[in-house]
Amino acid sequence: MTTKLLILGGTTEASQLASFVAQSGVDAVFSYAGRVATPKAQPLPTRIGGFGGIDGLVGYLRAHNITHVVDATHPFATQMSWNAFHACQSAGVQLIALSRPAWKARKKDLWTHVPDIGGAVDALQGEARRVLLALGKQNVPAFADQAQHHYILRLVDEPEAPPPLPHHTIVVSRGPFTLAGDLAMMKELCVDVVVCKNSGGIGAEAKLVAARKLGLPVIMIDRAELPPRREVSTVEAVLDWVTN
C-alpha cells in the first residue's frame, strides 16, 4: 500500500513536522481541531474539525487510505490522543507520537505542582494578585472561583464573550513566544504569579525563563496519562519511522 500520513496538529512541533514532510515529498494530510479562528497555514493539504470520536476517525483512516498517523497534538489534548490510539488499533494503522518532554524545574524556579485545572484554582486561594493565565480559553471560566485576582489572559483570539472574571486584561497573542517579549509583557502588566500547563517544547517555554529571571512563582499543571504508543521527539525520527 502507498504510504499516506495523517498529522494530528495544533502545536509548534506539528507545524515544524509539516514543513519537513512537505519537503520530503511524502503524501500527507494535516488535521486541525478548529479551535482558533485563523489557524496557521500549512504546506500540506489541511482538514479542519473533529473526526467524530474513535469510530469517526476509523472511518476517516479507511476512506483516505491512511497508513501512518503522527499524533503531534498538545500533551494536554488527551482525548484526541486516546482516540488516535484506539482508532489506529482498530483500523490496523501505524501510530507514532511526536512528543515534547515535560519541562523540569531548575534551580531558582519557584514551582508549585498541581494535578489539574481545579488544583490550579485551589492553589490561588488568598489575597488578590495579578495572575498570568497562560491557558486555553476553555480553561478560563474555572478561575471565577478565585475572583479576587486580576487575571492576565493570554489568548490566541479575542474572546467572543467577556470572560466571567471581574478583573482581567486580555492579551491576544499567538506563539511561539520569545523571552524578550514575555519579560516585557510580564513587567508591563506587573504579573505576580504564572499559571500554566506543563506543555514542554519550545514554543511556550519563554514565560518560565521570564518567571525565573523575575523571581515569580509558577503554578504548574502536570500532565495526565497518555496512551502507551511509540514516541519520538524529533521530526527526523518521525520521517525515519515513516520511510523505513
Q: Which three cell numbers stand for residue 154?
A: 493570554
Our finding on whether 33 is near ligand NAP (CB under 6 A) is: yes
Our finding on whether 111 is near ligand NAP (CB under 6 A) is: no
Our finding on whether 51 is near ligand NAP (CB under 6 A) is: yes
Q: Please identify which residue in 68, 197, 207, 229 interacts with ligand NAP, judged by CB under 6 A.
A: 197
Our finding on whether 32 is near ligand NAP (CB under 6 A) is: yes
Q: Please identify which residue in 43, 59, 119, 136 interacts with ligand NAP, judged by CB under 6 A.
A: 136
Q: Which is nearer to ligand NAP, 71 or 216 (CB)?
A: 71
Q: Give the separation between CA 71 and CA 231, rounded to whole angstroms.
A: 9
Given a contact cutoff of 8 angstroms between Cβ atoms, the answer to whether 160 and 177 are in contact is no
Measured CA distances, 29 to 73, 86, 169, 182 (Å): 14, 20, 37, 33
Q: Give the separation between CA 111 and CA 193, rounded to whole angstroms.
A: 10
Give how many residues touch ligand NAP by CB under 6 A: 24
Is residue 80 within a helix (H) or strand (E), and if so which, with residue range? helix 78-91
In 3D, which of 157, 3, 10, 176 has the Cα closest to residue 80? 10
Work out how close the CB of 130 gets to ligand NAP at its nearest, in angstroms, rounded to a whole number. 22
Is residue 220 within a helix (H) or strand (E), and if so which, with residue range? strand 217-221
Q: Give the separation between CA 188 and CA 48, rounded to whole angstroms.
A: 36
Work out how close the CB of 87 gets to ligand NAP at its nearest, in angstroms, rounded to a whole number. 9
Select from 5-13, 109-117, 125-133, 217-225 the region that touches ligand NAP (CB under 6 A): 5-13
In 3D, which of 83, 224, 204, 190 has the Cα closest to residue 136? 204
Our finding on whether 176 is near ligand NAP (CB under 6 A) is: no
Q: Please identify which residue in 83, 99, 146, 198 interacts with ligand NAP, judged by CB under 6 A.
A: 83
Residues found near ligand NAP in the complex (CB under 6 A): 8-11, 31-33, 35, 50-53, 56-57, 73-74, 76-80, 83, 136, 197
